[in-house]
Amino acid sequence: MVKLTKIYTRTGDAGETGLGDGSRVSKVDPRVEAYGTVDEANSFIGVAVATCGPAESRIAEVLAHIQNDLFDVGADLCTPVSAGEHVGDALRVTSRQTEAIEAWIDEFNAELGPLTSFVLPGGSALSAHLHVARAVVRRAERCVVLAGNEGDPATVAEPVRYLNRLSDLLFVLARRANAGPDGPGDVLWVPGGDRRK
């Protein structure tokens, strides 16, 4: 159980922060950038949840689950894998969490028609927020890959898979938010756009 009794500690005033294993690193360390970007993505997902109306209750339910999972991702990234680490020594993202995302992708995508073009971010407010979250999750994924490249890429393999699937889920949910009889529908890219006018 996490218990926070004091919000400020002054321990980061010199530009360093503590990792989950107690080591100190720069606040611009790739690992810190990675879990910080995961936190940013989680915040954008929170905005999307706040935008959900009664018709999007299933989307809100799934996103609330995702928000909790993203704290697991952050905890995983915050704690470097130690030599001789055993299962359960640290909180790690699991393949079951990634598989749950795949199941949600299949669930929501089954309700959607095939795409005939790339989708532009927009349509409903919820869809637009989900697209922003999707783009930030993609950036988080790149940051995690970079952090892995600084050490052993295998130690971040599951967080990378999780974030990769999450960005796909957010894309599908953005489409779902625009679907339905009252939805604006997909906003499709027109190659060349206004140049033909």
**pLDDT one-digit tens code per residue, 19-63:** 677 677 767 788 899 999 999 999 999 999 999 999 999 999 999
pLDDT digits (tens, 9 = 90+) for 111-163: 999 988 899 999 999 999 999 999 999 999 999 999 998 877 788 999 999 99
* Distances from the Cα of 39 to the Cα of 43, 67, 73, 82, 142, angstroms: 6, 9, 9, 23, 14
Phi, psi of 160 (to 5 degrees): -65, -45
- Tell me: pLDDT of 192 over 90: no
pLDDT score of 14: 67
pLDDT digits (tens, 9 = 90+) for 86-102: 777 778 899 999 999 99
* Distances from the Cα of 15 to the Cα of 27, 29, 143, angstroms: 6, 10, 19
Which residues are registered as beta bridge partners of 26?
A: 16
pLDDT band at 195 (very low <50, low <70, confident <90, very high): low
Report how far residue 175's alpha carbon sits from residue 87's, in angstroms, rounded to the nearest whole number: 38
Q: Which residues contact 64 (CB under 8 A, 6 or more apart)?
A: 49
Please tell me whether residue 25 adopts helix, strand or coil conformation: strand
- What's the mean per-residue pLDDT of the chain? 88
Predicted TM-score (pTM) of the model is 0.89
Please tell me whether residue 16 adopts helix, strand or coil conformation: strand
- Domains of the chain in sequence order: 26-79+89-196 (1.20.1200.10)
CB contact at 8 A, 46 and 67: yes
- Tell me: pLDDT of 177 over 80: yes
pLDDT score of 95: 94
pLDDT score of 12: 66
